[in-house]
Structure 1
Amino acid sequence: MDYPFRNPTALEPPPEWAELRQACPVAPIRLPSGDEALVLTRYDDVKQVLSDPRFTRELSAADAPRITANESGGVFGASELNMTGEEHRAWRQLLGRAFTAKRVTAMQPRIQAMAERLVEEMVARGQPADLVSGVGFPLPVWAICDLLGVPDSDRDRFAYWSDTMLSLTRFSQEEIDAAQAEFDAYLIALVEAKRAEPGDDLVSELLSIVEGLDGRLTEQLMLGTAKGLLVAGHETTANMIGKMMAMLLSDRSRWEALLADRALIRPAVEEVLRYDANPGFGMPRYLSEEVEVGGTVLPKGTTVVCSMGAANRDERQFEQAGVMRLDRSPNTHVAFGVGPHSCVGQALARTELQTVLRVLLERLPTLELAVPAEALARREGLVVGGLEQVPVRW
Structure 2
Amino acid sequence: MSQSEQVLSYPMPSEAALEPPAEWAELRQGCPVARIKLPSGDEAKLLTRYEDVKQVLADPRFTRLLNAPDAARLSANDDGGLFGSEMAAIIPDSGEGHLRWRRLIGKYFTAKRMAALRPAMTEIAEQLIDDMVKRGRPGDLKASLGFPLPVYVICDLLGVPAADRDRFAYWSDTLLNLTKFGQAEIDAAQAAFFQYMSDHVAGKRAEPGDDLLSELIKESAAEGEGLSDLELLVTGMALLVAGHETTANMIGKMVSMLLADRAHWERLLADPSLVRSAVEESLRFDANSGFGLPRYLKEEIEVSGTVLPRGTTVICSMAAANRDEGVFDQADDMDLSRSPNPHLAFGSGAHSCLGQSLARTELQVVLEVLLRKLPSLELAVPVEELDRVDGLVVGGLREVPVRW
TM-score of the pair, normalised by structure 1: 0.97
**Separation in 1, partners of 2:363, 2:183:** 33
Tell me whether 1:36 sits opposite 2:43 in the alignment.
Answer: yes
Q: Is the 8 A contact 1:38 1:305 kept in 2?
A: yes
Deviation of 1:81 (Å): 2.7
Q: Is the 8 A contact 1:72 1:177 kept in 2?
A: no
Deviation of 1:89 (Å): 1.9
Change (3 A) 1:61 1:368: same
- Map 1:338-353; keep pairs closer than 5 Å: 338-353=348-363
Runs of 4+ residues over 4 Å off in structure 1: 212-215
Give the % identical residues.
64
2:399 maps to a residue whose letter is Q
- Mean Cα deviation higher: 52-61 or 227-236: 227-236
Match of 2:190 in 1: 180
**Separation in 1, partners of 2:104, 2:87:** 15
**Separation in 2, partners of 1:155, 1:104:** 22
**Separation in 2, partners of 1:97, 1:133:** 31
Residue from 338, 341, 366 that aligns with 1:356: 366
Match of 1:84 in 2: 93
Tell me whether 1:248 sits opposite 2:255 in the alignment.
Answer: no
Q: How far does the alpha carbon of each residue in 1:200-258 deviate from its partner, in whole angstroms, 9 at most, with x for none?
A: 1100011112226599x612211221122123211111110000011000100000000
Tell me whether 1:195 sits opposite 2:202 in the alignment.
Answer: no
**Separation in 2, partners of 1:73, 1:192:** 29
Q: How far does the alpha carbon of each residue in 1:169-213 deviate from its partner, in whole angstroms, 9 at most, with x for none?
A: 011111111111111111111111111211111000111122265
- Map 1:128-277; keep pairs closer than 5 Å: 128-211=138-221, 218-277=228-287
Q: Is the 8 A contact 1:81 1:227 kept in 2?
A: no
Match of 1:10 in 2: 17
**Separation in 1, partners of 2:146, 2:83:** 24
Q: How far does the alpha carbon of each residue in 1:263-286 deviate from its partner, in whole angstroms, 9 at most, with x for none?
A: 100000000000001100000001
SS at match of 1:134: helix
Q: Is the 8 A contact 1:50 1:339 kept in 2?
A: yes
Number of aligned residues = 393
**Separation in 1, partners of 2:61, 2:238:** 22
2:383 maps to a residue whose letter is A
Residue from 319, 326, 332 that aligns with 2:342: 332
Q: Is the 8 A contact 1:73 1:165 kept in 2?
A: no
2:191 maps to a residue whose letter is A
Q: Is the 8 A contact 1:73 1:176 kept in 2?
A: no
Match of 1:68 in 2: 75
2:256 maps to a residue whose letter is A
**Separation in 2, partners of 1:158, 1:19:** 39
1:14 maps to a residue whose letter is P
Deviation of 1:113 (Å): 0.8
Tell me whether 1:122 sits opposite 2:122 in the alignment.
Answer: no
Residue from 34, 45, 51 that aligns with 2:52: 45
Match of 1:59 in 2: 66
2:217 maps to a residue whose letter is L
Change (3 A) 1:219 1:344: same
Deviation of 1:134 (Å): 0.7
**Separation in 2, partners of 1:196, 1:189:** 11
**Separation in 2, partners of 1:314, 1:224:** 35
Residue from 386, 390, 395 that aligns with 1:376: 386
Structure 1 unmatched runs, 5+: none
**Separation in 2, partners of 1:353, 1:90:** 29
**Separation in 2, partners of 1:305, 1:160:** 26
RMSD: 1.4
Match of 1:296 in 2: 306
SS at match of 1:98: coil
- Mean Cα deviation higher: 323-332 or 293-302: 293-302
**Separation in 2, partners of 1:71, 1:325:** 42
2:316 maps to a residue whose letter is C
**Separation in 2, partners of 1:160, 1:356:** 24
TM-score of the pair, normalised by structure 2: 0.95
1:254 maps to a residue whose letter is H
**Separation in 2, partners of 1:97, 1:274:** 25
2:252 maps to a residue whose letter is G
- Map 1:380-391; keep pairs closer than 5 Å: 380-391=390-401
Change (3 A) 1:147 1:262: same
1:97 maps to a residue whose letter is K
SS at match of 1:210: helix
SS at match of 2:343: coil
